[in-house]
Amino acid sequence: MLTSLQNPLVKQLRKLHQAKGRREQQQFLLEGTHLLQEALAVGYPLAVVCCTETWRSRYPDLFAAAGQRAERLELVSEAVLAAIATTVNPDGVIATAFRVAPRQPNDPRQVSLGVALETVQDPGNLGTMIRTAAAAGVEGLWLSADSVDLDHPKVLRATAGQWFRLPMAVADDLINVVQQFRAVGGQVVSTLPSATQTYWETDFTRPTLILLGNEGAGLSPGLAALADGAVRIPLAAGVESLNVAIAAALLVYEARRQRIPATMVAGSEPSQPMPRALE
């Protein structure tokens, strides 16, 4: 059992708290049982799994599965686990995953519902949007290169495991992604407080790419100009704006609602599975 905070492995894993350490080691942290379960479920490559004796006793099957998949499995003391964690109360296990590309989306020209995010800075917002997009059946999410890192620990935690399931890509040129989508007749929708059309008046049954921008500045003029139309989310008097993750949820679920088959009426059985409710 590792008990020393000066152990080289502990020092190595603590460096993964920072973007520089993740780039240098080409690894990132998975904190908590749920993220480990999701990584194992999709066969994501793991480098190291560190857990406490209490956690091993509680999850013997998961411990065995981690031992088969990870390159290294270590029992650690509670103090060592706390030192590795970025959270205040880690639940007993932390893994590191190799920094390979997440599941890639299809060519933008083949996507029916997508989301493009520009310069999103808050990791909690990005993680929430990834989780919501996965739940609503979004087929691809593109993120501008100047946004928060996809493998930031808080992003991973906020996705509740959907990070491994939603097709995502970091786009060096987000404008090019939008132009490809438009080239095959897809509509590009942005949000604007001054827009005359509400989001529920928009036809989301068409192939649609939703554009969302920075928490404070919104979309850059160059990207906003590519939108075929802007929609507004009505707000009560005195309210300036919504959190970008909430705005994303409203738009993607309105698209999901509009795409429910017309044969689905009250009291009938769904003709296709609906997404699992957010936990």
Give the mean pLDDT of 219-239.
Answer: 90
Q: Is the pLDDT of residue 104 over 90?
A: no
Asked if residue 197 has pLDDT above 50, the reply is yes
Would residue 267 count as lying in a domain?
A: no
Q: Tokens at residue 261, please?
A: 């088959």
Domain count, the chain: 2
Are residues 159 and 43 both part of a single domain? no
Measured distance CA(7)–CA(214) in Å, rounded = 40
Within 13 A of 270's CA, how many CA atoms are on the CB side? Answer: 7
The answer to whether residue 263 scores a pLDDT higher than 90 is no
Same domain, 20 and 154: no
- What is the arithmetic mean of pLDDT over 58-73? 96
Question: Which CATH number goes with the domain that contains 83?
Answer: 3.30.1330.30
The boundaries of the domain holding residue 124 are: 108-258
Hey, what's the torsion of the CAs at 79, 82, 83, 84, to 10 degrees? 130
Beta bridge pairs of residue 117: 143, 212
Q: Give yes or no for residue 193 having a pLDDT over 70.
A: yes
- 169 and 73, same domain (yes or no): no
Asked if the structure places residue 80 within a domain, the reply is yes
Question: pTM for the complete prediction?
Answer: 0.89
- CATH code assigned at 183: 3.40.1280.10
Phi and psi at residue 43, to the nearest 5°: 75, 30
